[in-house]
Amino acid sequence: MNTATAETTAPVSPPAAGSEAAPDSASASDPVLPASASVSGSVPVPAPGPLAAPAASAVPEAPVRVTVVVGSDREGRFGPVVADWLLERIAERDDFAVEVVDVAAASLPTALSHDPSPSVAAALAKVSPALDAADAFVVLTPEYNHSFPAGLKNLIDRHFTEWRAKPVALVSYGGISGGLRAAEHLRQVFAELHAVTVRDTVSFHGAAGAFDPGGRPRDPAGPSAAATAMLDQLAWWARALREAKERRPYAG
């Protein structure tokens, strides 16, 4: 069964008097006196001039650079099926520019070193630039023994500044739990790396039976709606953090 959760946004209260959106003086609905009219029959009131049109943005907003991390490296893995579906959902939008980092193709050894060998440095050179250049991430993970794969943790642990002050969306798949326990573990890991995980996720319960032989969800409405909500949140956080870092570098 495919599940997705989304929170309803609370209604926004009207701006208080005196704020920029609600000036102290006359509102747009107040009557306008003609040029010849006067207050108390004495001081003439000039006619109001034409309102200036709001300035149009001269530069279109750059798309969010999102890197999709495929977290499984198990032989016979199901991850590419979910990844292909996810990439199709992202391609339907015009606010993302996407790259893919596949843990299975990274060939990173588990032994960490501050002075990696030439072969390890070459392997990192294939993945680190895509992480560093990203404004945001979507991490796709299965659930192995109530958590996420060791290969994914290895990729995460080999990087630090690449994750900082960036948003992360989580897509999970598995058996009855849909990989949600793995997703919750990843929230703790990314919090330590100063990354922000978005609230909504996409999870596939009983993933092997949730897709048809062509790699399409048997019940596409639920996953598609969940993906839209998650990606909307990711885009908002990516733009907000990108703009904030342009004005004030992150010092965490």
Distances (CA, A) of 88 to 31, 59, 84, 85: 53, 28, 6, 5
List of residues 6+ apart from 135 with CB closer than 8 A: 64, 65, 66, 166, 238, 239, 241, 242
d(CA 225, CA 8): 14
Per-residue confidence (pLDDT) for residue 137, from 0 to 100 = 98
Question: With 0-12 CB in 10 A as exposed, 13-18 as middle and 19+ as buried, what is 245?
Answer: middle
For the domain bounded by 61-247, which CATH number is listed? 3.40.50.360
Q: Are 166 and 133 in contact (CB under 8 A)?
A: no
Per-residue confidence (pLDDT) for residue 82, from 0 to 100 = 98
Question: With 0-12 CB in 10 A as exposed, 13-18 as middle and 19+ as buried, what is 204?
Answer: buried
Q: What letter does residue 144 receive in the DSSP assignment?
A: B
Q: Digits of tens for pLDDT over the chain (252 positions)?
A: 444 444 444 444 444 444 444 433 434 444 443 444 444 444 455 566 666 655 555 677 899 999 999 999 999 999 999 999 999 999 999 999 999 999 999 989 999 888 999 999 999 999 999 999 999 999 999 999 999 999 999 999 999 999 999 999 999 999 999 999 999 999 999 999 999 999 999 999 999 999 999 999 999 999 999 999 999 999 999 999 999 999 999 998
pLDDT digits (tens, 9 = 90+) for 111-127: 988 899 999 999 999 99
Distance of CA 30 to the CA centre of its chain: 43
Per-residue confidence (pLDDT) for residue 196, from 0 to 100 = 98
d(CA 75, CA 101): 17
Give all strands (DSSP E) within 81-127, no chain letters: 96-102
Entry pTM:
0.77
Per-residue confidence (pLDDT) for residue 132, from 0 to 100 = 98
Per-residue confidence (pLDDT) for residue 28, from 0 to 100 = 42
Question: With 0-12 CB in 10 A as exposed, 13-18 as middle and 19+ as buried, what is 218?
Answer: exposed
d(CA 233, CA 96): 13
Per-residue confidence (pLDDT) for residue 65, from 0 to 100 = 98
Q: Any idea where the domains of the chain sit in the sequence?
A: 61-247
